[in-house]
């Protein structure tokens, strides 16, 4: 296995859906250990699934995560093993779709965490809403802590 992959995902043309992309951009300069790969996957679920085939101890997917909370709320979610078995959209970036595609390709990742942020607005526009933009530094800090602690157990936590 190969350390940690931090994958920023989302569509920068849909407002707050660009959260993961912005977090990945800021993490690129955060001085993380060499065993941590940070990358922006945008909306390419197929590319991310193939990257995960390289075998990572932990994958941290960073994305907008509508869960009904206040906009700007940052969540750490540990997805279950309930990815869909039906047809998959290779361009879809929902974590369950990417993980389902990864399993279909014969791959696995020991541990997957999703660091998500409750979006305020995913309308067609470029740029994060103020509350989601304010959550980016917290997500960067949280991911840095997760990497330093080796992905210590977090489950459906609100931060």
Q: Which residues are CB-contacts of 5 (< 8 A; sequence separation ≥ 6)? A: 36, 37, 39, 51, 52, 56, 58, 59, 60, 109
pLDDT 10s digits, 66-87: 999 999 999 998 876 444 444 3
Q: With residue 76 as reference, give the H or E element that holds it.
A: strand 74-77
Quick one: pLDDT band at residue 1, thresholds 50, 70, 90? low
**Rounded distance between C-alpha atoms, residue 73 and residue 12, angstroms:** 19
Judged by average pLDDT, the poorest of 24-33, 83-92, 107-116 is 83-92
Residue 150: the pLDDT is 65
pTM assigned to the model: 0.82
Long-range contacts of 24-30 (CB under 8 A, 24+ apart): 24/62, 26/136, 26/137, 26/140, 27/140, 27/143, 27/144, 30/140, 30/144
């Amino acid at each position: 296995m190969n350390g940690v992959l931090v994958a920023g995902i989302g569509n920068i043309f849909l407002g707050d859906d660009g959260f993961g992309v912005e977090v990945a951009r800021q993490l690129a300069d955060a001085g993380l250990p060499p065993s941590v790969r940070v990358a922006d996957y945008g909306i390419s679920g197929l590319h991310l699934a193939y990257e995960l085939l390289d075998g990572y101890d932990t994958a941290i997917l960073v994305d907008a995560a509508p869960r009904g909370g206040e906009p700007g709320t940052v969540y750490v979610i540990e997805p279950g093993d309930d990815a869909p078995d039906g047809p998959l959209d290779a361009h879809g970036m929902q974590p369950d779709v990417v993980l389902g595609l990864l399993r279909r390709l014969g791959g696995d990742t020991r541990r997957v965490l999703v660091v998500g942020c409750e979006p305020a607005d995913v309308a067609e526009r470029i740029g994060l809403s103020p509350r989601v933009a304010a959550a980016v530094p917290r997500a960067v800090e949280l991911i840095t802590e997760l990497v330093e602690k080796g992905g210590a157990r977090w489950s459906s936590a609100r931060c």
